[in-house]
């Protein structure tokens, strides 16, 4: 674009600056306008005196305003004048405040011992200087919390060794007697068997240590009542002085007493099911029982006695049962037992007696001795050869021998001849034969010993009783036997 060289040109269209200036001398200074209309003044002359004028944009138009209007626009006070004084009050209080009331306000902010003041531009920083700080003068300082460790010594007391001042790590060691307490793997512990009874606290008299509370808990002193309850023993129970343990081949001397109100009181077992029990109930009723859990009924009971087996019933009752049912005549399992037995004439000289018509004790050897059974009833049987010579023969039982002459036994009545029986009546021929006869005698006193002899007579003098011999074709021996009979009971043992 050519230069404007004439005065007073009139622009009829926009003047394009194209990044150039409007200047007085055509140089690169003055006024320039960018594409957005922003106007730049490359230099503004300073006003030498306060003319109270300020440039402002008014809807894009540069205008000037007075100082009064500017204060109005920015909300400043209406007073006019310069700052005539500055004062700074510190922690020292108003009496020592820093003031500057003339000209410019220049202050110095300086550090002191322990504080350093620096600035970066308008930023002022105050920092502590640790090396300049007196620790003991700080606020809340407690002298007792800050001690010279070398002046403090820890001394081992009784039972300890070690110690020293606390300027370095120190340690203590526990002194142990190695009989009550010991050190093991850095642990202090009580030695095995290290606590004697004397070291345990005193106990109340007549107490036992234990726990009968019904649950886990600490050991307590148990009274006699506590102990009896714990052991399930009645107060006043008889103490047992002898006992056996479950050790193999254990032995015991003296009596073993087992008391229990309901049986069995003693169980001996091959295992829990195959066993032998002893059950004692009220009044001393006792049952010995074997059990075969397999149900094969082979739980036998064998008495292998190295000596005598004695059955001694105080009331004379003996029972034989099968699976709980008595099959013996009531209480008379002894019935059939031979209570006395005599034989005369086995392999010896033959004996004989010629009968008379008077009942006479035949011979002192022809007798039976027995003890009366609990029933008081006995069966006497006799066997002898009779050479009757056509004569009737009677036998009797005598309780006297030949020296005292014949006397009938006193059962059932005194010297009762009802025990004299006809035992043989001969036929028309001689009628020689063995005579076998029995008596049943009641009313005997159980446990009493009796000696009864054979008595005999004939209805006519003559006839001979014979027994024994040691050559061919002689006679059988004389036999006299006493057999116990059961206690009288209706239908099963009737003695009429």
In DSSP terms, 159 is beta-bridged to: none
Residues 86 and 78: their CA atoms lie apart, in Å, by: 20
Share of the chain above pLDDT 70, in %: 85
Q: Who has greater pLDDT, 436 or 157?
A: 436
**Which band of pLDDT confidence, cut at 50, 70 and 90, is reported for residue 458?**
very high
Round to whole Å and give the CA distance between 3 and 9.
Answer: 11
Owner of token pair 């008299």: 205
Domains of the chain: 204-236 (no CATH), 258-310 (no CATH), 338-484 (2.60.120.1340)
**Which sign, positive or negative, has the C-alpha torsion 294, 295, 298, 299?**
positive
For residues 424 and 432, the answer to whether their CB atoms sit within 8 Å is no
DSSP assignment string, 13-25: SPPP-TT--B-SS
DSSP state of 228: H
Higher pLDDT pick, 160 / 356: 356
Q: Per-residue confidence at 179, pLDDT binned at 50, 70, 90? A: confident
Does residue 5 register a pLDDT over 80? Answer: no
Name the band, by pLDDT with cuts 50, 70 and 90, for residue 1.
very low
The stretch 194-209 carries a mean pLDDT of: 85
Residue 429 to residue 161: CA distance in whole angstroms: 133
Per-residue pLDDT band for 118 (boundaries 50, 70, 90) equals confident
For residues 341 and 478, what is the distance between their CA atoms, to the nearest angstrom? 11
């Amino acid at each position: 674009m050519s230069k404007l060289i004439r005065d007073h040109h009139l622009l009829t269209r926009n003047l394009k600056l194209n990044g150039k200036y409007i200047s007085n001398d055509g140089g690169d200074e003055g006024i320039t306008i960018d594409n957005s209309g922003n106007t730049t003044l490359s230099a503004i002359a300073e006003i030498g005196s306060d003319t109270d004028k300020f440039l402002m944009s008014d809807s894009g138009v540069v205008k000037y305003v007075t100082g009064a209007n500017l204060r109005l626009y920015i909300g400043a006070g209406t007073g006019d004048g310069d700052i005539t004084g500055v004062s700074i009050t510190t922690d020292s209080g108003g009496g020592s405040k820093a003031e500057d009331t003339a000209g410019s306000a220049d202050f110095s902010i300086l550090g002191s011992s322990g504080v350093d003041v620096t600035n970066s531009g308008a930023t002022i920083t105050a920092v502590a200087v640790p090396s300049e700080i007196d620790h003991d003068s700080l606020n809340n300082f407690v002298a007792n919390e800050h001690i010279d460790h070398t002046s403090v010594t820890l001394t081992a007391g009784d039972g300890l060794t070690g110690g020293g001042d606390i300027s370095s790590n120190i340690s203590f060691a526990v002194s142990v007697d190695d009989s009550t307490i010991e050190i093991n793997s850095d642990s202090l512990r009580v030695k095995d068997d290290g606590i004697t009874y004397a070291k345990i606290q005193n106990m109340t008299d007549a107490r036992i240590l234990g726990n009968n509370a019904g649950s886990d808990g600490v050991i307590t002193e148990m009274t006699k009542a506590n102990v009896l309850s714990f052991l399930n023993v009645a107060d006043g129970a008889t103490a047992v002085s002898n006992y056996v343990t479950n050790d193999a081949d254990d032995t015991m001397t003296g009596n073993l007493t087992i008391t229990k109100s309901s049986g069995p009181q003693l169980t001996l077992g091959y295992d829990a099911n195959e066993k032998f029990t002893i059950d004692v109930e009220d009044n001393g009723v006792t049952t010995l029982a074997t059990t075969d859990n397999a149900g094969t009924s082979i739980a036998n009971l064998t008495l292998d006695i190295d000596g005598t087996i004695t059955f001694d019933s105080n009331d004379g009752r003996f029972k034989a049962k099968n699976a709980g049912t008595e099959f013996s005549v009531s209480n008379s399992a002894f019935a059939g037992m031979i209570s006395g037995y005599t034989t005369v004439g086995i392999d010896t000289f033959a004996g004989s007696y010629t009968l008379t018509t008077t009942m006479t004790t035949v011979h002192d050897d022809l007798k039976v001795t027995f003890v009366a059974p609990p029933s008081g009833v006995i069966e006497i049987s006799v066997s002898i050869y009779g050479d009757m010579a056509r004569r009737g023969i009677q036998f009797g039982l005598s309780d006297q021998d030949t020296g005292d002459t014949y006397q009938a036994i006193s059962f059932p009545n005194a010297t009762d001849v009802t025990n004299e029986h006809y035992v043989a009546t001969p036929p028309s021929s001689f009628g020689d034969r063995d005579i076998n006869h029995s008596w049943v005698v009641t009313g005997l006193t159980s446990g009493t010993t009796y000696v009864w002899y054979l008595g005999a007579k004939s209805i006519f003098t003559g006839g001979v009783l014979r027994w024994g011999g040691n050559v061919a074709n002689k006679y059988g021996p004389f036999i006299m036997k006493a057999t116990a009979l059961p206690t009288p009971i209706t239908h099963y043992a009737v003695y009429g």
